[in-house]
Amino acid sequence: MKLLEYQAKEVLASFGIAIPPGKVARTPEEAAQACREIGPVAVKAQVPVGGRGKAGGIKLAKTPEEAAAAAGQIIGMDIKGFKVPLVYCEGALDIAQEIYLGFTVDRDNRANILMLSSRGGMDIEAVAEEAPESIARLYPDPWMGPLDFELRRLVFEAGLGAHAAALTKVIKQLYRAIPEQDAITAEINPLVVTGDGRIVAGDAKLETDENAAFRHKDLEQRYAEVLEGDPYEVEAKKRGLTYVALDGEIGVIANGAGLSMGTLDLVQRAGGRAANFCDIGGGAKAEVVQNALEVILMNPGVKGVLINVFGGITRADEVARGVVEARRNLNMKLPLVVRLSGTNETEGKQILRDNDIEPGDNGWEAAQKIVGMTR
């Protein structure tokens, strides 16, 4: 789960990391009130994607009136597919220096990596390209966590020795997000050194591992409902489906993540565009197929559906019967092409034909058929 900035800051503050004064506002009036309490504020859109500043999602406000106006403009705005549900009004910082501090998972090394750089405020990937020597790196032992001497070495390597004691403390506090919240990314950029020498989190990014959600119910309960992403993704999640919204016109259902992705590629190769990724997993049970079809058909942009199931030990005739039944129950009129393979493949195809559903011999042929039928 990608936390919003204010949520990430709440978590960091619970670890003892200093954050600027701030308040969440869901209405212009609440934003004005926040400004009355805090003074001049930055009114910031809360969305789980980067680039909100460029999209007009951050505005400075000196007075409560300005804060209300800014909130009025930002709340409800669409930033990269996310409707802004609320803003965070945050007091300005007296910035002397900006530092980058972040943990993430380094896949190639199958380990957590800690990065620290004196070049804060910039995208770390840009820093890595421009001045790779300015980033100090550490792979902490995942059982022990980072050790004091390792952190001291890191801080001096990054040229930040002047703040060694304070930084070592903040890094250890931030590291808590890994064992305690199953964070896969925990980043403070910029980590601000203020004019009076304090260290404060200017921004915060926290992403937790969805596979570990079973042991962090608290976080989900507290924060999950705030997000308003793609409505079909939300609906699919409620039904326990693995679904990703895309912007094409052909609904796609397949079993297995690799085959599902491969099917999207085939649709594009055939000249069409997929409306979604949807993996129904191993067994391809009738009710799961129906569930997936139902969500896909909610999207009025969908002009046809392609189902690509590789059976293996699954019986193709059972899958075919399930598809026929789902189509009938949903009163589906759109073109439908189904590619089935597995045990009893021939019977499966016959069942489809008997019910006016076009069977495909393989994924590529099926993709060409559905693209042809939706033109």
Partner 1 sequence: MILLDRDSKVIVQGITGREGGFHAERMKEMGTALVGGVSPGKGGGEAVGVPLFNTVAEAVIATGANATGIFVPPPFAADAIMEAADAGIELIVCITEGIPIQDMIRVKAYLKSFPKARLLGPNCPGLITPGVGKIGIIPAQISSAGQVGLVSRSGTLTYEAMSALTRAGKGQSSVVGIGGDPVLGLSFSDVVALFEADPDTSHLVLIGEIGGSDEEHAAEMLKDTRLKVVAFISGRTAPEGKRMGHAGAIVSGNRGTAKSKVEAFEAVGIPVAETTDQLVDLLG
Residues that bind partner 1 (CB under 8 A): 49, 105, 107-108, 110-112, 125, 141-143, 178-179, 182, 184, 209-212, 214-215, 242, 244, 246, 254-262, 264-269, 274, 277, 279, 282, 310, 312-313, 341, 362-364
Q: What is the DSSP string of 251-287?
A: EEEESSHHHHHHHHHHHHHTT--BSEEEE--SS--HH
Residues 6+ apart with CB under 8 A from 316: 309, 340, 341, 342, 343, 344, 345, 347, 348, 349
We find the least distance from the C-beta atom of residue 189 to partner 1, in angstroms, to be 15
For residues 276 and 245, is the Cβ–Cβ distance under 8 A?
A: yes
Nearer to partner 1, 162 or 257 (CB): 257
We find the least distance from the C-beta atom of residue 225 to partner 1, in angstroms, to be 21
Report d(CA 89, CA 351) in Å as an integer.
60
We find the least distance from the C-beta atom of residue 6 to partner 1, in angstroms, to be 21
We find the least distance from the C-beta atom of residue 257 to partner 1, in angstroms, to be 3
Task: Read off φ and ψ for residue 341, nearest 5 degrees.
Answer: -140, 160
In 3D space, the residue among 298, 321, 296 whose CA is nearest the CA of residue 309 turns out to be 321
We find the least distance from the C-beta atom of residue 148 to partner 1, in angstroms, to be 19
For residues 373 and 271, is the Cβ–Cβ distance under 8 A?
A: no
Nearer to partner 1, 165 or 313 (CB): 313
Nearer to partner 1, 144 or 165 (CB): 144
Active site residues: 100, 187
Nearer to partner 1, 104 or 350 (CB): 104
Nearer to partner 1, 329 or 362 (CB): 362
Nearer to partner 1, 90 or 182 (CB): 182
Cis peptide bond upstream of 190, omega within 30: yes
We find the least distance from the C-beta atom of residue 1 to partner 1, in angstroms, to be 12
Neighbouring CB atoms inside 10 A of 287's CB total 10
Q: Please give the structure tokens belonging to residue 265.
A: 């590629």
In eight-state DSSP terms, residue 198 is: -
Report d(CA 178, CA 227) in Å as an integer.
23
For residues 133 and 226, is the Cβ–Cβ distance under 8 A?
A: no
